[in-house]
Homo-oligomer: A and B are copies of this chain.
Amino acid sequence: MSILTVGTVAFDSIETPYGSVDKVIGGACTYISWAASYWYNEINLLSIIGEDFPEEEIKLLQKRGVSTEGLVRVKNQKSFYWSGKYHNDMNNRDTLITDLNVLAEFNPKLPTSYQNSSYIMLGNLTPAIQLSVLNQLINRPKLVVLDTMNYWMDTALDELHEVLKRVDVLTINDEEARQLSGERSLVKAAKRIHTFGPKYLIIKKGEHGALLFYEDQIFFAPGLPIPEVIDPTGAGDSFAGGLIGYLARTNEISFNNMKTAIIYGSTMASFCVENFSLTRLKNLTAEEIKTRLHQFRDLSSFETKELNAF
Instruction: Identify the A interface with B (CB < 8 A).
Output: 17, 37-41, 64-65, 88-90, 184-188, 205, 208-209, 211, 217-229, 246, 249-250, 256-257, 259-260, 262-263, 284-286, 289-290, 293, 297-310
Q: Which residues of B contact A250 (CB under 8 A)?
A: 305, 307
Complex contact B297–A309 (CB within 8 A): no
Contact status of A88 and B184, CB under 8 A, knowing A256-B303, A259-B303, A260-B305? yes
Q: Is the interface of A mostly helix, strand, loop or mixed?
A: loop
Q: Which residues of B contact A185 (CB under 8 A)?
A: 225-229
Q: Which residues of B contact A223 (CB under 8 A)?
A: 220
Q: Which residues of B contact A39 (CB under 8 A)?
A: 307, 309-310
Shortest distance in angstroms between A135's beta carbon and chain B's nearest beta carbon? 31
Q: Which residues of B contact A262 (CB under 8 A)?
A: 302
A177 to B300 alpha-carbon distance, docked (Å): 21
Chain A to chain B contacts (Cβ below 8 Å), 22 pairs = A37-B310, A40-B310, A64-B310, A90-B184, A185-B225, A187-B226, A188-B227, A209-B220, A217-B298, A219-B299, A220-B223, A220-B225, A221-B300, A222-B300, A250-B307, A257-B303, A259-B303, A285-B309, A286-B308, A286-B310, A293-B304, A301-B301
